[in-house]
Each structure stands twice: as C-alpha cells, then as structure tokens.
Chain A
C-alpha cells in the first residue's frame, strides 16, 4: 500500500486547540511541510506569539521559544544573532504583529534580519475574544467596535505588506488568502520561498496569510471562508510585494 498523506515529521502527533474552521491548523501544517521538505527540522528554532497560536510550541516538532506579546521579531533577532547558521521563524497574529509589536516588526524588517515571519491576518483579536485589531475592516463589528469600525473613531486598517514594502530591508513580502486548494498551495509555495531566502542568507522574509476566524466573526466556517474571499481581499489584495530580483515564485 502506498502512503499518500501523512503527518509531517515537523508536527507533533497531538491534537490542536484551534476552533473548527480556523486557519491556524492549516498554516501550521504548511510550515511543517516546508521544514520537512527543506530538511531543516534539526536546525530550526521557532518563536511562538501571544494570541491563539501561543501554544504553537506544543505543535511544532522543533526547538521553540515563546515570546512576550508582539516581541517575537526581537526574540528571533536575538536567536539568529547568537546562532547565525540556524533557521529562525516567528509565527504571529495581526494583534501581535501589527499593534503591540509594530516597532519590532518594522525594525526587524528594516535591519533585514535574516529570519522568516509567518503572519496570520484574521482581522481580529482571536484569543482574547474578538476585539478590534489594526487589520479590522471598516464597518466590521467586533467586541470593541460593536457598531462597526468607524474610521473617525478608530482609524483605518493597516496593510502590513504594503507598509513594509516601502523599506529597503525586506527581501520577500507576499500575501495570500487561505480560501481554497489553489491558494493553500500558493501559501505553501510562498512560505517555502521565504525559508529559502533565509537559507540563502538574503535577509528578511514575511508571508501574510488571510485566514478565517469563524468563532469571533460569528460565522459558520464556510461563510467565514467566503468572507475572506469577498471582503478581506478587497482591503488586503493578495500578491507578491517584494522579492529578490532573480527570484520567481
């Protein structure tokens, strides 16, 4: 019998705590598959965020550090500078990366820190129960924007890839939506590219993944995917924002 589908070596044989229909589980799998395919499990160190993925260190089968809220890029900088021949990645949500940790991500990118960032944008704070995030869409209802996000009161959504693309440091910046098989494959392709750029010593790489949070959006999983496809992509257009000149994805 031929095995056609199995758990990646770089994922622990354990159940995750993520809600049904959440994107985090899928994205974990993609990262683990990439680590396996590149054969770097033994020299990879991951940094887990504060947010729904706080327990990522229980799921990845590689060395992991758990960082304070938003500080993962600084922690990753410390690891990478101490051990430059290892592979270091952070896994961060939008609250973590685009609110409390804005300074850390911008400066890690500006230094072209040779790390890879997996950025999960679900337009909300998942873990704390659905508050407004910097990526919450105009008009989107959350626990702390109960009448819909009003830009007069709460400002506008932050587009992280576009913002970082103004810097010279980042070597690879791409956004993809986690909505169907084609895009899931594309997400994996981007993640692989991001790790390859680090392995080649080129510098900072980040992949932003538009991901559903059915629980806090108050939607059925299938509707949540439609909402990513129909609403989120309008504000956060998918695509490659920066890549090394010779590279194609």
Chain B
C-alpha cells in the first residue's frame, strides 16, 4: 500500500472523505484551518458537500440537520470554536444523531493562543453543554492514527447514534508524517430507518427531536441514553501499554504528549527504572481496565498532560487511592521535553 507524506489536518480530511463523509460544515480557526481548506478543494470534486458556515454555532446546527437527514457528516474546529458548538452537541446527543466533531486543541482559557494544548479534556469528556450526556472521545497520537481513527469515529457514531469527538492538539494537526490509507472492511451497521428523508412512502413521519415535556418520558429517555453509554463503556474502551510487561511505575499520557512521554520512558529504562506507559486511546469511555491489569504490581502513576491537570482526575478515579498518583503538566502551549518528564519519573520513584 502506498505511503504518503501528509500534514495531520489534511490526512484527517482525506480519511473523512474515504470514510464516506458526505457533508462538511465548518468555520475557520487556527490550528485546524488546513482541514476545511483541503475539504473545500476535494469535496466538490468527489460529489460531496463543503460549506463554510457563518459561525461555529451555525456549523454544528448544519451538522444536526444533515445527520438527521441520514448522511455521514463532520465538522472541525479548535478550542474556542468547540465552546460555541457545545449548544449543538447537547442537542445532537439529546436527539441521538451520529456525527464526527474534530477538536484540534489550542491553549486557553479565552482566546488563549494558537499553540498546542490538551486543556479541553474536561469539556470533551464531561459534556461541556447542558444535560446528562456523553460523547465518545478518540485521542490519536500520530498522523497515521489520526487517519485510522477517523474511520472508527464514523462507524462508532453510526453504531451508537451518538456524536464522536476526535481530540488532537495543534502539533498533531500541523505535523507531517508518512501515512497509509488502509481500506477497511465496512463494519456491520444498523440501517438509518429513523432519518428524516421525507416520508417517501413511509406510513408515519420520522421526527428528530430532543424535547420531552413530560418529565416521566424525559427520565425514561435519559435512562435509555445512560444504558447506551454503559454499553459503550463496556465495549469500546481502548488503550495501549508500552514497556509495560515488567513495569512497576507507569506514566499515563495521551495524544502527542504520550509520544514525548514514551521517549522519557525509554530514557528511564536505560537507567534501569522499570517504568511503562499507559496511553488511553479513548478518553471517554476511559480505559479503567488498563489500570486494573497492572495495579497489583504498580507502585505509582505519573500523569503527564498539556494542561494544568485534567485527565489526572480520571487516573485517580481508576486507581481509587490504592497507590500514589503524581501529575506533571505544561500549559499555555508549552510542551514538555522528554528530559523534563524523565526528571519527573525519577521523582516519582524517589517518593514511593
């Protein structure tokens, strides 16, 4: 299969087209702008829809309309833009509409900067919009994985009738790496009999809606959603463990941060420190099992993030106080070096 050198944002865009994305609606923001630019060039050529909306609010609501009409649809943005999309994401979850939402994160809060960050973790995994809902969150660590997870994102969205977030940071969007677009056998997916396509001979009209004025019905709807989220938690958690076989200490990191942390783990190994890396691939559902599998021999965990400490809460929830959990984070667009993380690994070993 042919390997091509591509920028993360563009590779992601190409993968979306290959995964059958029929419509894209977006609004420009750095550092993800190459993605809509690529789609603006390529979508019309391949008979698909590209539309630049007047705002992120409009873009996510266009996604709602197209998803409700039964086609594969995507939008992308970066942190402040995703904040604006939260209204629509809550409605998409309430109405159970499948779509893919890409967040190539930058520093915040507020306008922040345009450097890479991972400080939208809470927003992505806890909701961000109103109501009891969850979105599946995928966190690739390379351009290749960015591509591979796009296919999964569309499948998971259709499978569970739920928005799926791809959470990357500015580095992933901007970096160039070789990628292969692997053709994959299509996953068996339920037909979209619920879509509003016009009745087209159907007896009863289809309705896309998130309004339940009767509290009994709304509670029932919420319970149904929670059962779905539980099923996703049981079936869809993904992670990778590196240098883990004999490890007593673990670094936990995702996305680009995991790449740097892995280099630090290798450095520590050179000095005989038995340390491994847990790399969550799904941030929701959080891969708690990864911790269960190693907890009997683990002496401590070190969470490394491009934030002031967000995922560390999930690590603590997974570890349940059984061993110490340490945190090291850089923020504002600063990225830690492998040496910095190596120092933190040594400190972790010193403490415990």
How near does chain B come to A142, taking the closest CB pair, in angstroms?
24
Q: Which of A64, A76, A82 contacts B208 (CB 8 A)?
A: A64
Known contacts A103-B54, A107-B58; A86 and B23 CB within 8 A of each other: no
Interchain CB contact under 8 A, A81 and B62: yes
Scan residues 63-102 of chain A and give those whose CB is less than 8 A from a CB of chain B: 63-68, 71, 74-83, 86-87
A137 to B199, CA, bound (A): 41
Scan residues 56-108 of chain B and give those whose CB is less than 8 A from a CB of chain A: 57-59, 61-71, 73, 87-88, 91, 95
- Interface residue? B20 (CB, 8 A): no
A54 to B207, CA, bound (A): 12
**Chain B residues near A41 (CB, 8 Å)?**
199
- Interface residue? B321 (CB, 8 A): no
Interchain CB contact under 8 A, B61 and A42: no
Interchain CB contact under 8 A, B53 and A57: no
- Interface residue? A43 (CB, 8 A): yes
Interchain CB contact under 8 A, A45 and B61: no
How near does chain B come to A100, taking the closest CB pair, in angstroms?
10
Interchain CB contact under 8 A, A47 and B91: no
- Interface residue? B186 (CB, 8 A): no
Interchain CB contact under 8 A, A103 and B61: no
**Chain B residues near A104 (CB, 8 Å)?**
54, 57-58, 61
Residue of A nearest to B195 (CB): A63
Interchain CB contact under 8 A, B199 and A74: no
- Interface residue? A172 (CB, 8 A): no
How near does chain A come to B278, taking the closest CB pair, in angstroms?
38
How near does chain B come to A129, taking the closest CB pair, in angstroms?
16
Q: Which of A44, A78, A87 contacts B64 (CB 8 A)?
A: A78
A222 to B207, CA, bound (A): 35
**Chain B residues near A77 (CB, 8 Å)?**
51, 58, 62, 65
- Interface residue? A177 (CB, 8 A): no
**Chain A residues near B51 (CB, 8 Å)?**
77, 81
Interchain CB contact under 8 A, A75 and B196: no
A50 to B22, CA, bound (A): 28
- Interface residue? B211 (CB, 8 A): yes
A82 to B51, CA, bound (A): 11
Interchain CB contact under 8 A, B196 and A64: yes
Known contacts A57-B209, A81-B49; A65 and B64 CB within 8 A of each other: yes
Interchain CB contact under 8 A, A65 and B70: no
- Interface residue? B205 (CB, 8 A): yes
**Chain A residues near B22 (CB, 8 Å)?**
82
Chain A interface residue count, Cβ-Cβ cutoff 8 angstroms: 35
**Chain B residues near A65 (CB, 8 Å)?**
64-65, 68, 196, 207-209
Q: Which of A63, A71, A87 contacts B205 (CB 8 A)?
A: A63
Residue of A nearest to B91 (CB): A68
Known contacts A44-B198, A82-B49, A103-B55; A61 and B205 CB within 8 A of each other: yes
Q: Which of B58, B198, B211 contacts A74 (CB 8 A)?
A: B58
Known contacts A68-B88, A103-B55; A78 and B23 CB within 8 A of each other: yes
- Interface residue? A60 (CB, 8 A): yes
Interchain CB contact under 8 A, A86 and B197: yes
- Interface residue? B151 (CB, 8 A): no
Interchain CB contact under 8 A, B61 and A63: no
**Chain A residues near B69 (CB, 8 Å)?**
45, 78-79, 82-83, 86
Interchain CB contact under 8 A, A78 and B67: yes
Interface centre among B73, B198, B199, B206 (most CB of A within 10 A): B198
A80 to B207, CA, bound (A): 16
**Chain B residues near A61 (CB, 8 Å)?**
205
- Interface residue? A191 (CB, 8 A): no
**Chain A residues near B23 (CB, 8 Å)?**
78, 81-82
**Chain B residues near A87 (CB, 8 Å)?**
198
- Interface residue? A62 (CB, 8 A): yes
Q: Which of A78, A103, A107 contacts B66 (CB 8 A)?
A: A78
Known contacts A67-B61, A71-B57; A82 and B71 CB within 8 A of each other: yes
Which 9 residue pairs are nearest across A and B when measured between Cβ atoms?
Answer: A78-B65, A74-B61, A78-B62, A63-B196, A78-B66, A75-B65, A43-B198, A71-B61, A107-B54
Excluding A45-B196, A63-B197, 7 further A-B contacts by CB distance (< 8 Å) are A42-B199, A43-B200, A64-B208, A74-B57, A78-B69, A83-B71, A107-B53
